[in-house]
Amino acid sequence: MHLSKKILSAVLAFFMLAGVSAGSFDKIIADEIITAIADETDNTENTDDKENTDNTENPVDEPEETENPDEPEKKEDETPKENHHLWKQFDSRWGSMGLGGAYNSMTSIGCLVTSICIAAVDCGAVSVDNFSPITFVNKMNSVGGFSSGGALLSYKQVSQLIPGFQVINNYGYKSSTKEGKAAEMKYWMNQGYYIICHTKYYMDQNGYWQSHFVYIEDIDGEYVKMNDPGSWSEDMFGTYWYKFAADYLVIKGPNSPDEYSEPPASHEAELALDLLYYPKKTVYRLGERLDLTGGVGIVTGINPDSGYYWILHAENMGNAHSFATYTSEFDSSAAGYYNIYFCARLYDIEAWQKIEVVVLDENGNYPPRETEENTGNTAIDEYYFIGEGDLDAYADPAETDEPVVSIPNGYIFKIFDIDEDYGKTVIDGNEVWVDTNILEKAENSETYEKGDINNDGVVDICDLSLLNDYLDALENAPEGLSLLSETEIEAADINSDGIIDRKDIIAYLDRICL
């Protein structure tokens, strides 16, 4: 494993632990706050346990207690307060509590409720001395605060039950990037407000909408530290894909300012098409009909009219309305590898994606693929650059005054030939030359375990992090560049289907969660 991969983002994509949450998407929140009746506490003393002072023995006969100056003074109550930052929706104390209906428990859909409880304590509206998810759910159930399906009906009602806690609004993001979305939330936090993020909002490959809320603890650049009610993960964008982050709640506490400013919106149109799931069938026998069932795509971008980020709901590749599907290249009568193309068009912008399917030969074998050997190029080895900035590449090893392209820092590429100090590589089909004196050789282990990308002897979240980074980079990296070496790519194909895609992510999750 080369040096640039020693620093890994902590990726815990434990979707199986993250509860599907219910929540209101109202854009306008009423400002009225009605004081709720507090819970009554029985402070009556038990008189049966009191001593009768009239019948006590003579105190002169009892030894007099003396204080030991060496012993520390005892406090009446040294019991530590409960840490509300450890509250999870699956906590055994309240996990089985129903939200509006007996079959909708906190464990299954309580991420928004748990996030609200954490935020309520953090903002100073309540104290853990007399407040917990138990008290909040009981109050909400008593006033009909949840629908029969467990959805929270009104943020105004939350403010009535938790005086001093107010949801200012439910804001859609105004950015489509990780950095931009993190900056928006930080903008509010710097003003003294609190954030609950709707970090997961999409349709899965079975046609069901997935939704999840988390409480935001801190933000440093694009790193968002979350308190996830459904897991112990803290890295929000490392755990949940940033494009699924749809909107966020801005919460005003007792000490938050009354006046605020909103982050500026961008009115430049943006468009992106991402494939959430490949079709269930990508390998065909001769004569089989193309089947895109199970494939799901999603279109996202910035609406130039409003300046807000939006998510067009995910659609099946076979009958999508938000994007077109082009299958003319596919020919099931001939063995080979074929590309299926998808295109979204909006605001005079196009966004493209493609997947590869294979037609087996008459014996059911994979057909030969064009390789380095049959193109006349044989790689000497794989290298990468980790110096300052990017690596300059030149059209000719003898003419290095003007670079023709730059190779991003940390990307792996193959060297096919050496001319003194310069090595030849191929980027986007073009031969270019780079200085080999400043390159590092990629480590390719002769032995590896499927799934163990970093070859440390265990398949874990570090490997999943590398796979996520690799797949994200595929969208923008020129052909010939990779974040993983050849053997690392072979190890990343954990389901052994010959393709590195999001199916492998699901296979990792299944293995890690066991």
Q: Is residue 159 a part of any domain in this protein?
A: yes
Q: List Cβ neighbours of 384 (8 Å cut-off, separation of 6 or more).
A: 2, 4, 410, 411, 412, 413, 439, 440, 442
Q: Is residue 207 a part of any domain in this protein?
A: yes
Q: Tell me the pLDDT band of 204, cut-offs 50, 70 and 90.
A: low
Domain boundary (441, 460, 484) is at 441
Q: Render pLDDT for 274-285 as a digit per residue (tens, 0 to 9).
A: 887 888 888 999
**What is the percent of the chain with per-residue pLDDT over 90, rounded to a whole number?**
38
At 136, list the tokens: 């909040």
- 434 and 464 fall within a common domain: no
Q: Which domain covers residue 466, as residue numbers? A: 444-513
Q: Which residue has the higher pLDDT, 368 or 434?
A: 434
Coil, helix or strand at residue 374: helix
- 104 and 172 fall within a common domain: yes
Average pLDDT over residues 383-410: 88
Q: Render pLDDT for 205-235 as a digit per residue (tens, 0 to 9).
A: 666 778 899 999 999 999 999 999 999 999 9
Asked if residue 65 has pLDDT above 50, the reply is no
CATH code, 392: 2.30.30.40
Asked if residue 8 has pLDDT above 90, the reply is no
Average pLDDT, the chain: 80
The number of folded domains in the chain is: 4
Q: Render pLDDT for 92-102 as a digit per residue (tens, 0 to 9).
A: 999 999 998 76
At 210, list the tokens: 């997935």
Task: Report the C-alpha gap between 438 and 421 in whole angstroms.
Answer: 10
pTM to 2 decimal places: 0.58
Residue type, 191: Q
Q: Is residue 104 a part of any domain in this protein?
A: yes
- 123 and 204 fall within a common domain: yes
Q: Is residue 99 a part of any domain in this protein?
A: yes
What is the pLDDT, as a whole number, of residue 211? 87
- 235 and 126 fall within a common domain: yes
CATH code, 132: 3.90.70
Asked if residue 131 has pLDDT above 80, the reply is yes
- 289 and 170 fall within a common domain: no
Average pLDDT over residues 128-134: 95
What is the pLDDT, as a whole number, of residue 480? 87
Q: Tell me the pLDDT band of 19, cut-offs 50, 70 and 90.
A: very low
Give the DSSP letter string of 209-248.
EEEEEEEEEEEETTEEEEE-TTSS--BHHHHS-GGG--EE
- 240 and 277 fall within a common domain: no
- 132 and 227 fall within a common domain: yes
CATH code, 343: 2.60.40
Strand partners, 274: 298
- 111 and 233 fall within a common domain: yes
Residue type, 147: S
Task: Report the C-alpha gap between 82 and 442 in whole angstroms.
Answer: 49
Q: Is residue 365 a part of any domain in this protein?
A: no
User: In angstroms, what CA-CA distances link 186 with 155, 376, 424, 484?
Assistant: 22, 53, 45, 33
Q: Tell me the pLDDT band of 129, cut-offs 50, 70 and 90.
A: very high
Average pLDDT over residues 39-50: 35
What is the pLDDT, as a whole number, of residue 64? 47
Q: Is residue 16 a part of any domain in this protein?
A: no
Bridge pairing between strands 391-393 and 405-407: antiparallel
What is the pLDDT, as a whole number, of residue 71? 52
Residue type, 435: D
- 139 and 279 fall within a common domain: no
Asked if residue 61 has pLDDT above 70, the reply is no
What is the pLDDT, as a whole number, of residue 31? 32
- 111 and 230 fall within a common domain: yes
